[in-house]
Amino acid sequence: MKTRYRASFVAVVTLVVAGPVLGLAASAFASTNTYTRTPYQTGRANAGTPNSTNVVKNSSGTVVSYGNSAITYTAPSPSLATLGQSLFLENCASCHGTAANGVPANGTSGAFPNLVGLGPATIDFWIESGRMPAADPRAVQANRRVPRLSHSQALAIAAWVNSLSPSYPDIPSPNLASANVSDGAALFALNCAACHTIEGDGDALAAGTFAPSLRNIPAYQVVEAIRTGPGNMPRFTGNLSDFQVADIVKYVTTEIQHPQNPGGFGLGGLGPVAEGFVGLLLGVGLLALVGFWVGERQ
Amino acid sequence: MSQIINTKRGRREQSGPYGKLGHALNELDDRMGVAKGGRTFLDKIFPDHWSFMLGEIALYSFVVLLATGIFLTLYYVPSQDLTTYTGSYLPLYGQKVTEAFASTVNLSFAVRAGLLMRQMHHWSCDIFIGAIVVHMGRVFFTGAFRKPRETNWVIGTTLLILAIVNGFLGYSLPDDLVSGTGIRIAYSIILSIPVVGSYVAFFLFGGNFPGTSILPRFFILHVLIIPLIILSLVGAHMVLLVRQKHTQFPGKGKTENNVVGTPMYPVFMAKTTGFMFVVAGATALLGAFAQINPIWQFGPYTASRISYAVQPDWYMGFLDGALRIFPAWSFHSFGYTIPLEVTIPAVIFPGILFNLVMAWPTIERKFTKDNEMHNLLDRPSNRPKRTSAGVAVAVLCSMLFIASSTDVIANFFHLSLNTVLWSMRILCIVMPVLAYPVTYKICREMQGFAGAGKRKTANIVTRTAEGEYVATPAPAYVDDLVHEHELEAVPVPTYVVDVDDEVSSGEGGVRRVPR
């Protein structure tokens, strides 16, 4: 009786102590496994991950492209990786390090992001929007400018960085034919306008950061930004499907970039600030001048 | 047998020397005695100075506001019921919007001249309040508010407040994303009023924000109640103006006891009618060529959505700026939140400001102990303390106005928003304090400067035979040589009868009548 009691006691204690240890070890093992294999941010279908309608694999089973009727994500060709490495060493390694892990070369100071595992779309966005190579590495936020590297060079660098630790999302190519601009407008107001403003002009955020203007951004880069979340921008994955992203992109590339301006000159999208100046200077000012002309001046 | 004259001239002669209109007026006078009041009105003397036209910009903008506003009420639906937008603007097609928003977009796109009317209404509002402020500045800096005109000063200030409030209400009516945010802020400001805030807010909104009754209530306030109050106060402003007669700048023949100027008919009536059409025309040009408040781009308001970079119309700017830059002082004790960060800039500050403005004539009298009647205006530099105080307050309001666009400034000049915010905090305190002594010094300098306030004459540049250029000022304008020419009597216009010749003399149609 006493022994049996002891045996059960020992069993319970062993389970209580060992269980969490085993569980933690198992989950750690499982999570490392998950990380290397599928670093998705969402399990939702058709949201920028290979969990999509159309998945194309090559003979060795690697995903070449995935997506759906709204957006197709294509991986950069692995054959570009060698070229990509030399381009990376030339243009990026002085800050991001020769292994793209954010450890800079000797003689360079500062903390630079680790690029390993970020996915081709991130690399492509930063290079093709001209933000990288950075004009001023110490700036709070890089400005959009004319890209230093060509489209194929950006793809090559993305291919090499991706070869270090394959990841997603791949480089998107939206098909806006069946996208709904009205849904896009509503989604834009809900998800984007809080920083980029409802007219898409962008605005200053805290401490030197800013939401850039959306007036001159190609469609695929809008998708890249939404899916990868550059800088301060949140990464929109689970809450927006590819179809919704296409709606937003259509709204941005049509109504934001080419607004219909019935009612005269759009006053720079600055809203009541510009309107106030026009109303006071042109309106009141002009009328006061007429009054000055009509009335006596002595 | 009476002779029947059936020729054009004969018929005209039959209806008297002033034609059919004169005949009709005679009939009216026989019954209602309009001639006496009409004579007083037509004979009212308007001293002529360009700065006296500023108030008229406001008056005629109000006329434009009423006309365009009536047009807009024909199409606007004051309802927050949801409907599906099925109009011509594709980016909104199929969205669930309120009736108010849908009707405003429809009146912009589907009604002939609807957008023009809406834009004219909005521009006219901006001009209306701008003109009120400029007119108020003129009255303040020239001391026109002094006894006996304190009442009219208070009426004018009330008109400014009502105009700002009504502008805000009208701005809110389309129920777009930007104006909805404005109502949200207004709700929070009302909530921050100590003790009664939540009760007042719930009473006004019929419950919690946003509710479904605020737009219909705003509509009634905007198109009926406040315009009626404004209209009657404008009437009172005018009646007092006629009753107390105009002020005038000191000049030849102008004393505290007379009014020198042109009569209403015909000179001033021609000027002012023309000016009305210029105001309406300028507003129409702005409405036609400058886009204002493109609500279709903003989309409908829902409480879950927000746009960054939202500013109110310019006349609310100084309040928005005060809200933006005020430190986040908020206390929680005994289960209550005391949101000083909102109460001080949005309730207490405007309260103090407008009370100060209203009480200014009294305050100034306390200081100057001046209880005399004043019909002659001051030159601002001759009253340096008043001028400096006014400039300081104007500078404070301008700084707060600039502070309402901190984000736009930061974005435009690539500055840190935090830097801009702190700069504005410092500038709002430093600039008014600096403005007072600087203005005071300038005023004192101008007092000692001979010829200040006179028109500058052109320089006559001559070339000598040696090729040297010499600039000499042209002689002063005849009008400016006050003491050299006395007033000459001019014949009294033929339509004026029973006017004593001794007092009705003047020059170039200028007459003097006893006050």
Give the DSSP per-residue string, A166-225.
--S--EEEE--TT--HHHHHHHHHHHTHHHH-TTS--EE-GGG-EEPP-TT--HHHHHHH
Alpha helices for B74-220 (secondary structure H): 99-109, 114-141, 150-172, 177-191, 197-205, 214-220
Q: Cβ of A185 and B91 within 8 Å?
A: yes
Per DSSP, the three-state class of B4 is: coil
For the ranges A26-30, B113-117, B412-416, the one whose mean pLDDT is highest: B113-117
- Angle formed at CA A260 by CA A254 and CA A261, multiple of 5 degrees: 145
Continuous segment of H or E residues that includes residue A289: helix A286-294
Contacts of B138 in chain A (CB under 8 A): none
Give pLDDT, residue B319. Answer: 93
Give the bridge partners for A90, in sequence order.
none
Average of per-residue pLDDT across B49-66: 93
Q: Among residues B174, B257, B272, A178, which one has the least CA distance to residue B183?
A: B174
* Widest pairwise Cα distance in chain B: 102
Residues ≥6 apart with Cβ < 8 Å to B56: A291, B272, B275, B276, B279
Indicate whether B509 pLDDT > 60.
Answer: no
Give pLDDT, residue B312. Answer: 87
Instruction: Please name the member of A182, A201, A284 whose beta carbon is closest to the beta carbon of B57.
Output: A284
Average of per-residue pLDDT across B222-229: 96
> pLDDT tens digits, residue range B242-252?
888 889 888 77
B235-274 exposure pattern, b = at least 16 Cβ within 10 A, e = fewer: eebeeeeeeebbbbbeebebeeebbbbbbbbebbeebbee
Q: Among residues A102, A99, A156, which one has the least CA distance to residue A127?
A: A156
Give pLDDT, residue A33. Answer: 39
Q: A237 CA to chain B: closest CA distance, Å?
A: 19
Work out the pLDDT band at B58, boundaries 50, 70, 90.
very high
Give pLDDT, residue A278. Answer: 86
Give pLDDT, residue A107. Answer: 59
Residue B350: Cβ-neighbour burial (10 angstroms; 0-12, 13-18, 19+): middle
Give pLDDT, residue B301. Answer: 92
Q: Could you identify the residue written with the tokens 């303040």?
A: B140
Q: Cβ of A287 and B282 within 8 Å?
A: yes
> pLDDT tens digits, residue range B233-283?
999 999 999 888 889 888 777 888 888 888 888 888 899 999 999 999 999
Tokens of A30: 């499982």
Among A248-257, B2-11, B28-37, B314-323, name the one with the lowest average pLDDT: B2-11
Q: How far is residue B435's CA from residue A160's CA, in Å, rounded to a whole number?
A: 62
Contacts of B52 in chain A (CB under 8 A): 295
Query: Domain segments of chain B: what residues?
Result: 8-42, 54-320+330-378, 463-515
Give pLDDT, residue B514. Answer: 55
Contacts of B317 in chain A (CB under 8 A): 272, 276
Q: Angle of helix B114-141 relative to helix B384-403, nearest 10 degrees?
A: 150
pLDDT averaged per 10 residues in sequence order, chain A, 298 residues? 64 65 53 44 79 83 85 89 91 85 68 84 92 83 89 92 87 91 92 90 86 91 92 88 93 89 71 81 89 79
Give the bridge partners for B461, in sequence order.
B471
Mean pLDDT, rounded, of chain B: 87
Give pLDDT, residue B266. Answer: 82
Phi, psi angle pair for A72, to nearest 5°: -110, 130
For the ranges A131-135, B162-166, B177-181, B459-463, the one whose mean pLDDT is highest: B162-166
Indicate whether B84 pLDDT > 70.
Answer: yes
Size of interface A-B (CB pairs under 8 A): 211
Task: Tell which wins on pLDDT, A231 or B121.
Answer: B121
Q: Could you tell me if B117 and B89 are in contact, meaning their C-beta atoms sit under 8 angstroms apart?
A: no
Which of the four CATH numbers 3.40.50.1820, 1.20.810.10, 3.40.50.1980, 2.40.110.10 does domain B54-320+330-378 have?
A: 1.20.810.10
| Count of C-beta atoms within a 10 Å radius of residue A296 | 16
Work out the pLDDT band at B352, boundaries 50, 70, 90.
very high
* ipTM score of complex: 0.79
Among A13-17, A189-193, B97-101, B304-308, name the one with the lowest average pLDDT: A13-17
Give pLDDT, residue B17. Answer: 72
Give pLDDT, residue B4. Answer: 62
Q: Give the full edge-to-edge strand order of the sheet including B258-263.
A: B45-46, B258-263, B511-514
Indicate whether B502 pLDDT > 80.
Answer: no
Query: How close are the terminal C-alpha atoms of chain A, in Å?
Result: 119
Contacts of B305 in chain A (CB under 8 A): 189-190, 193
Q: How far is residue A23's CA from residue A31's CA, in Å, rounded to a whole number?
A: 12
Among A104-118, B272-286, B366-380, B421-435, name the one with the lowest average pLDDT: A104-118
For the ranges A114-123, B75-84, B493-502, the one whose mean pLDDT is highest: B75-84
The 8-class DSSP code of residue B314 comes to G
Contacts of A198 in chain B (CB under 8 A): 177-178, 297-299, 307
Among A8-12, A106-110, B186-190, B295-299, name the one with the lowest average pLDDT: A106-110
Q: Could you tell me if B299 and A189 are in contact, meaning their C-beta atoms sit under 8 angstroms apart?
A: yes
Q: Cβ of A298 and B479 within 8 Å?
A: yes
Give pLDDT, residue B488. Answer: 53
Q: Cβ of A186 and B134 within 8 Å?
A: no
